Structure 1
Amino acid sequence: MNNNIAVISGLLVLSFICAASSAKDYEVADFAEYQSVVAKLEPGDRVLLEDGHWRDVEFVFSARGTQTNPITLAAANPGKAIISGRSNLKLAGEHLVVRGLVFKDGYTPTDSVISFRTAKPKSAEDYSTVAVNTRLTEVVIDDFSNPDRYETDYWVSVYGKNNRIDHNHFSFKRNKGVTMAVRLDTVHSRENNHVIDYNYFGPRPVLGSNGGETLRIGTSHFSLSDSLTTVAHNYFEHCDGEVEIISNKSGKNVLKNNVFFESRGTLTLRHGNGNLVEGNAFIGNGVDHTGGIRVINADQVIRNNYLSGLAGSRFGGGLVVMNGVPDSPINRYHQVDNAMITGNTLVNVERIIFGAGSDEERSAVPSNSRFIGNTIINESMMSPFELHDSVKGIDFAENRVNFEVEEALQGGFAKISNVELAVPELPVKKSEVGVAWYPKYEKSDRFINGKSVSVAPGTDTVIEAYGELSSAGELLLDEGDYHFSKTLMLDKALVIRGAGKGKTRLTFARKSLVDMLNGSALRLQDLSVSGLRAPDDKANAVIRSDSKPMNKNMQLELLGVEIRDLDINKDFDVIKLRKSTFADNVVVKASSFVNIKGTVLKLDTEKDDYGMYNAEYINVENSQLSNVTGGLMAVYRGGTDESTFGPHVHVDRVSLESSPAASSTSSSILLHGVQRGLIENSKFDNSAPILVRHTVGGPVIRIEDNVYKNNPLYKVESVVSGMESTFTANNNSLLGDQP
């Protein structure tokens, strides 16, 4: 051996041993101690946060480790250092590790909870304020959400280069803004070679607005830049924020071996070219709006993915190939060109769409593309293909199906029979992602497992019984009269169950019977409510959402309920959801509404026309209205944004008499911007027409099998000029005047 080489090797080993032996652990108990040590950290050092709540702290972790001796910020005991209040973490430097922290019970005071940058670099050569070669691992961010649902922030903003984000747990981001965003706004963060792997992306509740993506890579402004980011072996569960689960907006990214479980929306190649989508599993189990992959732009490769039980439509379908805009601006839709879609297996996928979004603007059909060697099997043996424009620019070959295909697709598909496809092993298991010491989401009914309490008639007996509940519960009311001298301020899930309509009778003396606070759910069942003792005031309601913005979605149910005599003034609604509040479900069944000077479901307060709305699913069945001057419902979703699925409205077997009167200038039902609506098997007697206002998104509104006494039954208006209407009306019967 060369003696010089031996000496150098020995010196390197000695220097490594010396560096390791000189590394220090700093256990810190408060933020002042943290600040005193962070400035003097050397390679190999560790800062260990002691157990407890670290409240209202803004950590800056700026240091320079080495590849063999990184500098670490960690919980002394993983999961026991809780970062709460108005807190965040900024990283800068190189070879850093952050491990074992939990962010909960608070929100960031800035635009990010964790940022891989302390400030925007001042020059192209200056990397001092960004993090490179840094690892974020075994960190939990759980419901660390701004209390105003439409205040925007990110949970993780990834800048710099060569960073790894792995084995983290992110669940219940409830306010606007991407859960994790890879940012490309300076040269320091492009062609970054980040790896995002083995993370658990838990539920992302429906936002009711654009801005609910779970992961975004780039933005439209920098979408012609390459990111070179790898997203692999992550688990996305119930990520329902909006139509894009992953929004890819840059080039040459690899998205592989991820699982999307019952998540509403798609992996969307929204901008950027040359991306690879490979080996992912999309498991929908028939859940509404579960989607797969949406293809836009050039040189995309989609191969060997498994898609099963996907019920999504339009832009949220199982596999969607978009039309583009000729000579598209950078922020619109670039033409699909040279796409390769091969080796994918689609089982019980309801829709595979080519030319999606085709209209006067989006007229550039896919070109130079191939759809080869895919297998599509449907138990129904019905074709899932929808051709919204020409498919001449796509070469179809060697595909297998178990149904008859459309004429335009003849030649590229072979029909097979008696197919039994084995369900493949998922590319990653839920147990393999995130952290072992923090529980993952398990779906449950909000109303079950609550304590049941019997309540006797009287004044405020219901409110007093509610005060004894520490969590979700059920109040069982006897026959008799119950009066509320105060509004019940509801902050949990509650069932109020009576002995039957007319037997259990509720009155109230304030502007509302119940105010729904953040995170609450209410079911009223088998009882009657009267407004006779309510104050003569404006803006009364039986149930209303809090006047403050919310970030936790509500649930409201009226089952077998009678509401009457809300006529103390001219402004008295049954359910009124206020601005910046949102319900997953509003359900009315087997209920009646009599003599009301307002609207049964007042869901129209989001009138800024930015695509926001108050409720996702509105379902009214087997109910009666008489003399309700505001009609059954007013549902409003304005603007031209295409990022949401709702609102959804279903009305079935409902009778409306003079609700409002036919001579009224109002409407019996207002559907403004509703995306899915079905009004069926209902009777409209001396009642104003249904008013349907189309906005955008290809709404599907159907009015079918209804009986009406006064013309017209409905009016349809288009808010966006030139938009093709998808409204249909069938089998409705006009009775005319009857004796």
Structure 2
Amino acid sequence: MRHAVCAGLLCLVTGGVAAADYRADTDNYREYLRRLQPGDRLLLAPGDYRQGLPLHNLSGRAGQPIVIEAADPAAPPRFIARRHVNTVSLVDVRHLVLRRLQLDGGNLPVDAVKAEGHSRYADFITLEQLYIHDHAASQQNVGISTKCPAFGWVVRNNRIERVGTGMYFGDSDGSDPFVGGLIEGNRVAHTLGYNLQIKHQRTRPPDFADRADTVIRYNVFSKQDALPGPLARPNVLLGHFPQTGAGSGDRYLVYGNLFLHNPSEALLQAEGRVAVYDNVFINGSGDAIHIQPHNDVPRDMAVFSNTVLASGAGIKVRAAEDTPFHQRVIANVVAAAIPLHGGEAAYNLTQAFRPELLNLALPQLTPHLLARSQPSQPLPEALVHELTAYPGWPGTSFPGASVTPAWLRRLEGALP
């Protein structure tokens, strides 16, 4: 790689392709948007940006994304919402990275980041270290939303709070699938509706024929300040993948997350094909996990090695009758009014909910519940060997989530 100064820009030349660093401010930043090419970076000076960020017909390449980020990580540029226009608008884009931006909604009825419904695609989008807040004019206003086919998104280390819905991927009719996403290290709190909803999928475009799991890990999903009423929603709702054909083998992998409090709904509701493991669920006002039909039915699922503390139901499985699918509930530690209901349960440790348990620090919760469930025996070696096939599972020999220093470090940026 060689460096050259050209027209006041730092150009990086690799293999004959020049990638430029552009520096812009509140007055001129939109002039640069159309000129961005693969590998370019647009570095935004601190300040209040009032003309939105329309990213239309832009494509980086694999390994050479177009990057738009703060010039000074300690002073993120603030994009202030405008009426009738989504602040970050994505139309026909691929291989883009947005990093270290603040999106202030001012409680106007718009979305912060939206892959627009008239877009044909929005693929390989990375949203990282964004601060999204005050988009709560109604539940319909969303922090991050996709309304077109979206493949390969990475949504990482963002803080989303005081919004109608935190993240909403897909469309209400099951069209516009969200495929192969990675959602990690985010803190989503103070939402009117869902912290996260991924809609069911009816079909999959031919370009998305390969199997692609969606991973949800190391996030904090909190509705502890939500009010009961018509806007009540689970913290997280996961809809099914296509029932047949392309995408029907996909699954959600949900691990290493912290789910906190919901006064009206469950912390997690899911159908389809899902693995839920090594999470901590704490709800002092109701239920924790609901596995139940929504737009389809629960298919093959595994709910294992979680620690659950709930004043209502701990893990509740309501499966459709006369189906060939299995919902396994294995090696969880559950303290709840109704610890377990339904599913194929084995090696779980259960006890009654006690309010004082809510005062325990996270690292103390699993050991405390295990100690009160004596005698607790190690899990069978064959079962441990089977479960190690799941990515990110720590391979513990005892039930419950493994809230180790490493687990806490992964959540560090998302913890309250």
TM (norm. structure 1) is 0.41
Q: 1:80 aligns with which of 76, 101, 112?
A: 76
Cα gap change, 1:186 to 1:29, in 2 (>3 Å): farther
The alignment partner of 1:40 has SS state of coil
Q: 1:112-511 counterparts in 2 under 5 A?
A: 112-115=111-114, 117-121=115-119, 129-146=120-137, 149=138, 152-158=140-146, 159-173=149-163, 175=164, 178-183=165-170, 189-190=176-177, 192-204=179-191, 207=192, 212-219=193-200, 222=201, 228-238=213-223, 241=226, 242-251=232-241, 252-264=251-263, 265-271=265-271, 273-284=272-283, 287-289=284-286, 291-296=288-293, 297-312=297-312, 317-322=313-318, 324=320, 338-352=325-339, 354=341, 370-378=344-352, 417=374, 424-425=402-403, 428-429=407-408, 432=411, 434=413, 441=416
**How far is the alpha carbon of 1:200 from its aligned partner?**
1.4
**Residues 1:38 and 2:38 are matched in the alignment:** no
Partners of 1:56 and 1:224 in 2: CA distance: 36
The alignment partner of 2:273 has SS state of coil
Cα gap change, 1:423 to 1:58, in 2 (>3 Å): closer
Partners of 2:178 and 2:136 in 1: CA distance: 30
**Do the aligned partners of 2:180 and 2:214 also contact (CA within 8 Å) in 1?**
yes
Unaligned runs of 5+ in 2: 1-11, 205-210, 227-231, 242-250, 355-368, 378-398
**Residues 1:70 and 2:65 are matched in the alignment:** yes
Cα gap change, 1:47 to 1:340, in 2 (>3 Å): same
Answer with 1 or 2: which has the greater Rg: 1
The alignment partner of 1:216 has SS state of strand
Which amino acid counterpart does residue 144 of structure 2 have in structure 1?
V
**Do the aligned partners of 2:182 and 2:216 also contact (CA within 8 Å) in 1?**
yes
**How far is the alpha carbon of 1:39 from its aligned partner?**
0.9
Which amino acid counterpart does residue 429 of structure 1 have in structure 2?
L
The alignment partner of 1:289 has SS state of coil
Instruction: Output one character per residue of 1:227-246: Cα deviation in whole Å (capped at 9) or x when no partner.
Output: 84221221223456434111
**Do the aligned partners of 2:109 and 2:135 also contact (CA within 8 Å) in 1?**
no
**How far is the alpha carbon of 1:143 from its aligned partner?**
2.3
Partners of 2:45 and 2:291 in 1: CA distance: 46
**How far is the alpha carbon of 1:375 from its aligned partner?**
2.1
**Do the aligned partners of 1:190 and 1:227 also contact (CA within 8 Å) in 2?**
no
TM (norm. structure 2) is 0.69
Unaligned runs of 5+ in 1: 1-13, 122-128, 327-334, 356-368, 381-400, 403-415, 442-739
Instruction: Output one character per residue of 1:254-313: Cα deviation in whole Å (capped at 9) or x when no partner.
Output: 222211134554354444x222222222134xx22252343442323233232333112x
Cα gap change, 1:309 to 1:267, in 2 (>3 Å): closer
Partners of 1:45 and 1:15 in 2: CA distance: 11
Cα gap change, 1:288 to 1:163, in 2 (>3 Å): same
**Do the aligned partners of 2:38 and 2:64 also contact (CA within 8 Å) in 1?**
yes
The alignment partner of 1:41 has SS state of coil
**Do the aligned partners of 1:322 and 1:336 also contact (CA within 8 Å) in 2?**
no
**Do the aligned partners of 2:48 and 2:77 also contact (CA within 8 Å) in 1?**
yes
Which amino acid counterpart does residue 143 of structure 1 have in structure 2?
D
Q: 1:690-729 counterparts in 2 under 5 A?
A: none
Partners of 1:143 and 1:187 in 2: CA distance: 28
Cα gap change, 1:54 to 1:100, in 2 (>3 Å): same
Instruction: Output one character per residue of 1:690-722: Cα deviation in whole Å (capped at 9) or x when no partner.
Output: xxxxxxxxxxxxxxxxxxxxxxxxxxxxxxxxx
Counterpart in the other structure of 1:619: none
Partners of 1:42 and 1:345 in 2: CA distance: 49
Cα gap change, 1:185 to 1:345, in 2 (>3 Å): closer
**Do the aligned partners of 1:199 and 1:433 also contact (CA within 8 Å) in 2?**
no
Cα gap change, 1:232 to 1:187, in 2 (>3 Å): same
**Do the aligned partners of 2:280 and 2:401 also contact (CA within 8 Å) in 1?**
no
Cα gap change, 1:299 to 1:434, in 2 (>3 Å): same
Q: 1:48-63 counterparts in 2 under 5 A?
A: 48-55=43-50, 57-60=52-55, 62-63=57-58
More relative contact order, 1 or 2 (CA 8 Å, 6+ apart):
2
Cα gap change, 1:108 to 1:65, in 2 (>3 Å): farther
The alignment partner of 2:150 has SS state of coil
**How far is the alpha carbon of 1:44 from its aligned partner?**
1.3
**Do the aligned partners of 2:220 and 2:260 also contact (CA within 8 Å) in 1?**
yes
Counterpart in the other structure of 2:100: 100
**Do the aligned partners of 2:276 and 2:303 also contact (CA within 8 Å) in 1?**
yes
Which amino acid counterpart does residue 337 of structure 2 have in structure 1?
E
**How far is the alpha carbon of 1:139 from its aligned partner?**
0.7
Which amino acid counterpart does residue 39 of structure 2 have in structure 1?
G
The alignment partner of 1:429 has SS state of helix
Which amino acid counterpart does residue 101 of structure 1 have in structure 2?
L
Which amino acid counterpart does residue 229 of structure 1 have in structure 2?
T
**How far is the alpha carbon of 1:425 from its aligned partner?**
1.2
Cα gap change, 1:239 to 1:55, in 2 (>3 Å): farther
**How far is the alpha carbon of 1:322 from its aligned partner?**
2.2
Aligned length: 337
Cα gap change, 1:96 to 1:323, in 2 (>3 Å): closer
Q: Please, what is the CA RMSD of the aligned residues?
A: 3.6
Cα gap change, 1:109 to 1:200, in 2 (>3 Å): same
